[in-house]
Structure 1
């Protein structure tokens, strides 16, 4: 299989490894990106194996949270210039305000009536595309809700109220009467999520295939050792994985001496009742969308010795 410059570029962006190492990995596994990531990790060459994908698309993340429910929306544009446009920001704000009723469905959100007009959100987006002359899309949306408690939020790199580059919702269930204290805790945890980007709430929430992959990598890196030793190394590695990647087990950024779970437990006295962190949503602008970069592609082509 021919290892193209674009393939090398994709692997480098996902792992942070050098171009020639990426080419070697892809050659070894016949172009399989996921297998190449594992190959680099086993060789100790991957600098950012956890990275989900380069954040490249422009636009804005919109957050709307009020009491027991909240919603988040990503609306993309081609350039950051348009993302700073007041018309675009107004679009995202109004679309976000409708998102709770869409219950996480982009289709329902696009079909909703745009505020102040007798047209759908989808048609309003098309109108703005025609006006501004740049492609836009409502890419995704999610909703969190609790029967009692609060859904808190945090927007990073905020450009206008509720609009920014990273948006987080955190749902806390609690019968506690101190709503202000609970809301403060939810916001602080949302800030933590924005900073750490956990894989899941707890180890049970991590996809089985991800855990099996981690175990296989640990086992491969320790080949030649007795089976019982490898078993202990893998078990220890899984505990470390949980502390690094699972929200409840992570060291709390506001007090690293505690885990997030401990911080939640310690807040129960102030809130006036038990607290359960039941869910979170984190959207980073352009997550998983690749944006063409001609100069870098040319650099990769030169190093890989192939044309795109």
Structure 2
């Protein structure tokens, strides 16, 4: 006797082989397979919309509000305290002003101590790092036999010069960069553990040394025997190259000639080029003379021309 009360519907035979053939090309589609296809397509559409939509409204602020990126970059520079420690310049390179070639209009920090005068071009005080990992924003120097430290916050355009306070037991200053304080400003330190802000009113073992900010020509006119801190620009060509933007047209003409000659010599004296020339000379057979370029005339033509 056949049981007709539980006859499976189309596509629901209960046979695994039949189920596997529901989506097989060429096989008739059942209602179940159609529903599965619709559900799968719906999931794909919803997933695509979710992925392409922003997490919140603020994600589009950089596109909708002018200056948003600049504001966020400013916060990144000034709003976070850093734990990256970098020593300052402890053996600064000093040259007589007559031996330097910085542009006359180069802005400088001018200091007078113990009857001595020194100029620090701002281009030498940038917060870049030397090959030894020292920061150019802190220069521990000695002028007139007394320790002095020049600090430069190029992000804020803020400069400050320190000397040892009267009664201090220290013999040198030796400041280093501790990072940036929360809310902006350089953090300076004598060690690697505690620091103070560059613009702090109360300074440990230090006091503020007066200075002037003017052009190199103005400082040199007032102090003809001044010397100059050259930083990472010890040679005249590098000094010219670093201050091209401050030059007069006449200064620029001279600088262009000096830099062009330097570049030409660097190419001629390049070790690789010299090695190639030496290798070519060694590979040439002995007694070979350089071939003289031909004039393109035949011997008969040369005779006619000579007549």
The TM-score range, normalised by the shorter chain, is under 0.3
Higher helix share: 1
- Please report the TM-score for the alignment, with normalisation by the length of structure 1: 0.25
Q: Quick check: which has more Rg, 1 or 2?
A: 2
